[in-house]
Amino acid sequence: MANLVEATSQQQFEDFLAKAGKCLTVVHFQAAWAPQCGHMNEVMAELAKEQPHTTFVKLEAESVPEVSEKYEIASVPTFLFFKAGEKVDRLDGAHAPELTKKVQRLAVSGSPGGAAENSTEDLNQRLKKLINAAPCMLFMKGAPQEPRCGFSRQIVALLKEHSIQFSSFDILSDDEVRQGLKTYSNWPTYPQLYVNGELVGGLDIVKELAESRELENTCPKAVTLEHRLKTVINQSPVMLFMKGNKEAARCGFSRQILEILNGTEVDYDTFDILQDEEVRQGLKTYSNWPTYPQLYVKGELIGGLDIVKEVFVCLCSPETDWRPTPAPPATLVRIKQCIENGWR
């Protein structure tokens, strides 16, 4: 297959990017010892058939360390997406449905202009949803508990000093959002603060508001924790509270529940409890459920990993285990219907 290749050196890697030009290039940083990489290579082979204008590159992460270090590859499998030689997106982990969605969204085929317009519209919808995820949203480097640049650290301190209730998004975790929001908001730097979906500005603007004592009037008043939890729980019809996010689970239990949900192709959102200690501790009391992950459907708690596994096993045949891979398509459809109907 001409568009499914392997790069064994930095020069080969750079040649493939140059040859692809403005068309999408997907690079799989893999390792021979990792079985999940073999599975994702099979997924890439199928995608290569569907996307003839996209180049799919396999690269042994440990054999070409100069490339892996340049793009901060810390685990395998990791996928990087390039256009015109520039990285436009990233996916960490073996998430076949998410890889497929990203390729379909970013690939340029048939009508390049139309595909690019659709991709921009999809990104703008996602950005609008993130901006309106909370009454006061801060896009920053890192998390409020662990800012990863001085400007982000300063703006977090200002907001906390004035008792402003806010949620945050780590732009370092998603390069598509990081680059796209600059264009969407016409604001080239971070952090960026939004109130009720409207851009307030960066650190300098927030400093001015604080000095003029207008910050409390500009930002919404702090809400009770219960109200905030209800808002987050109902952010999406299917909401998963976990350690990490869709692209990079940060504990084994969260990773397993992602595998199940991704196998059903259900649309769901996630909330990283590691980035918000108030939500992490408060939700345990609110839901009377002491552990994570927690899955909510239409605002109601379904349960944790064990509950989700039990439902999956009940709907699968006795011969199959809980993992989504061996389950037949008809079973996955039934599971998807159960989730969308509140899993009753």
Same domain for 271 and 332, yes or no, is yes
Number of domains the chain contains: 3
Q: What is the rounded average pLDDT for all residues in the chain?
A: 84
- The answer to whether residue 117 sits within a structural domain is no
Mean pLDDT in residue range 155-161: 92
Select the more confidently predicted residue: 104 or 195: 195
Single out the residue in 198, 218, 238 at which a domain terminates.
218
Assessment of whether the complete model's pTM goes beyond 0.95: no
Check whether residue 167 and residue 254 sit in a common domain: no
160 and 245 share one domain: no
* Residue type at 13 in one-letter notation: F
pLDDT at 277 > cutoff 90: no
Let me know if residue 190 belongs to a domain.
yes
Extended strands (E) in the chain = 4-7, 25-30, 55-60, 78-83, 86-92, 136-140, 142-143, 146-147, 167-170, 192-195, 198-201, 238-242, 269-272, 294-297, 300-303
Percent of the chain scored above 70 by pLDDT? 85
> What is the mean pLDDT of the segment spanning 319-324?
46
DSSP at 173: G
* Within-domain flag for 167: yes
Does 48 score more than 70 pLDDT? yes
Give pairs for 70-76: CB < 8 Å, separation 24+.
71/29, 73/29, 76/29, 76/30, 76/31, 76/34, 76/36, 76/37
Q: Rounded to an integer, what distance in angstroms lies between the CA atom of residue 310 and that of residue 317? A: 12
Residue-range definition of the domain harbouring residue 98 = 4-108
Summarize the confidence of residues 25-34 as an average pLDDT: 93
pLDDT at 315: 55
Is the same domain home to 138 and 47?
Answer: no
Whether 142 and 75 map to the same domain: the answer is no
pLDDT at residue number 96: 84
At which of 218, 242, 260 does a domain end?
218
Domain end, chosen from 64, 91, 108, is at 108
pLDDT for res 340: 60
DSSP single-letter state for residue 121? H
**pLDDT at position 336:** 61
CA distance 64 to 28: 12
Same domain, 312 and 279: yes
Q: Are 143 and 54 within one domain?
A: no
User: How far out from the chain centre does Cα 152 lie?
Assistant: 21
Tokens 């064994």: give the residue: 8
Q: Residue 212's domain is classified under what CATH number?
A: 3.40.30.10
Residue 217: the pLDDT is 86
Closest CA to 112 of 84, 80, 90, 79: 84
In a domain, 118, yes or no: no
Question: Does the pLDDT at position 123 exceed 90?
Answer: no
335 lies in a domain?
yes
Strand runs (DSSP E) across 141-207, as ranges? 142-143, 146-147, 167-170, 192-195, 198-201
Give the single-character DSSP code of 249: B
The predicted pLDDT at position 278 comes to 84
Query: Is residue 51 in some structural domain?
Result: yes
Determine, yes or no, domain membership for 119: no
Question: Which pLDDT does position 109 carry in this prediction?
Answer: 43
pLDDT score of 57:
96
For residues 276 and 303, state if they share a domain.
yes
For residues 115 and 111, the model is more confident at 115
173-187, 203-217, 321-335: lowest mean pLDDT where? Answer: 321-335
DSSP strand E in 47-176: where?
Answer: 55-60, 78-83, 86-92, 136-140, 142-143, 146-147, 167-170
The pLDDT tens digits of the residues spanning 243-259 come to 998 888 889 999 999 98
The answer to whether position 60 is within a domain reads: yes
pLDDT (mean) for 135-163: 91
12 and 100 share a domain?
yes
238 and 179 both lie in a single domain: no
Cβ neighbours of residue 342 closer than 8 Å, sequence gap 6 or more: 297, 298, 300, 302
Confidence of residue 333 (pLDDT cuts 50, 70, 90): low
Residues 211 and 268 in one domain: no
232 shares a domain with 152: no
- Determine the Cα–Cα distance for residues 207 and 35; give it in Å rounded to an integer: 51
Share of the chain above pLDDT 90, in %: 44
CA distance 223 to 66: 48
pLDDT for 125: 87
Between CA 42 and CA 96 the distance in angstroms is 10
